Amino acid sequence: MTSSPFSAQRPAPSAHSASSPSSASSPSSAAEPLLSVRDLRVVIDGLHILHGVDFDVAPVGVTALLGRNGAGKTTTVKAVMGLVPRTGSIRLSGSELSSLPTHLVVRHGIGYAPEDRGIFAGLTVAENLRLAERAAGSGSGSGSGGEAGEPNYALVHELFPELKQRAGQLAGTLSGGQQQMVAIGRTLLNRNRLIIADEPTKGLAPKIVAEVAEVLARAAEAVPVLLVEQNLALVRRLAGTCAVLADGRTAHRGDTAELLADEEAARRLLGVGSRHPLAGGPRPAAAPASPAAPVVTAEVKP
């Protein structure tokens, strides 16, 4: 390959910020969102779990999906992926996905790193990656699906050289951070337009959280990321914009730094106390942050 491994996936450079930083009803102004979700509803076994979720994912960088435990974050990303029955609108670059089954959502170019990572512990790193390869030429048939082509190992190995060095190592023997590299690496392999990462730092030690933050920052240089996360320090560092869910609805959309600096709003929406360290500190970047930046674990209170 002669071109940069980033070239096939890097989004248009013009769009940097997402929706306007005020309310849930604010329209996107600066740039068209990559993913636009409207009135998303999910009913499982007669239980109404999502009652109308609206949010946009910015076409560059990291967008965070936040909320207290049980707010509906995982159900929302599962609904986007077609893993639970849903109604409403889910548009990826203008293509409507809400009636598509999961395999066609995937072929439209959404890579999903689920909460449990989905790593095969008994297979090597290389085998885990190989299993994620989408067949060249496979598409949704709609003409607007994910870009077909060879798997982008150049990008994965450029971002995560460790995965090349550890190609023969059993995935089950990797650290939590390295396993996240495999999980995120798999989503980058198929030239996706969007990566969804569901709680990638859940249960990890602070040192590993810092590693995973670095993994996400590097991945977001290549492909926009929708990040479900409860570690608000990490969110603050990585995500330029966010949506907050509460009780299965969108309670807030806007600029992440503004939300986390607003003590009253952060307390009301996320349960962050007034003396929480997130109230101060440097502004987060939509662009990836410094590798040296510390990541403080700050779980949302239920």
Q: Is 75 in the site for ligand ATP (CB under 6 A)?
A: yes
As measured in angstroms, the least distance from the Cβ of 230 to ligand ATP is 6
DSSP class per residue in 124-135: BHHHHHHHHPPP
d(Cα 219, Cα 210) in Å, to the nearest integer?
A: 14
- Each residue 120-159 as x (binds ligand ATP by CB under 6 A) or -, in order, gives ----------------------------------------
State which residue, 79 or 129, has the beta carbon closest to ligand ATP.
79
List the beta strands (DSSP E) in 114-261: 194-198, 225-228, 239-246, 249-255
CA angle 148, 55, 46 (to 5 degrees): 95
Q: According to the binding rule CB under 6 A, does residue 82 interact with ligand ATP?
A: no
Q: What is the DSSP letter of 244?
A: E
The window from 56-64, 73-81, 180-188, 250-258 that contacts ligand ATP (CB under 6 A) reads 73-81
**196 touching ligand ATP, by CB under 6 A:** no
Stretch that binds ligand ATP, among 15-23, 63-71, 130-138, 235-243 (CB under 6 A): 63-71
Q: Which one of 15-23, 41-49, 118-126, 176-184 is the stretch in contact with ligand ATP (CB under 6 A)?
A: 41-49
Q: Which of residues 3, 13, 47, 137 is near ligand ATP by CB under 6 A?
A: 47
Q: How far is CA 122 from CA 156, 173, 179, in A?
A: 21, 9, 13
Q: Which residues of 35-69 are buried (b: 16+ CB within 10 A; e: fewer)?
A: bbbeebbbeeeeeebbeebbbbbbbbbbbbbbbbe
CB nearer ligand ATP, residue 48 or residue 283: 48
Q: Which stretch binds ligand ATP (CB under 6 A): 5-13, 29-37, 62-70, 260-268?
A: 62-70
At residue 77, the 3 state secondary structure works out as: helix
Nearer to ligand ATP, 71 or 234 (CB): 71
Give CA separation, 252 vs 20, 38, 228, 249, in Å.
Answer: 11, 14, 15, 9
The correct pick among 15, 64, 71, 239 for binding ligand ATP (CB under 6 A) is: 71
Binding to ligand ATP by residue 73, rule CB under 6 A? yes
- Name the packing angle between helices 176-189 and 125-132 (round to 10°): 30
Site for ligand ATP in 218-277 (CB under 6 A): 230
Write the DSSP assignment of 92-103 as a string of letters.
Answer: ETTEE-TT--HH
Interface positions with ligand ATP (CB under 6 A): 44-45, 47, 49, 67, 69-75, 230
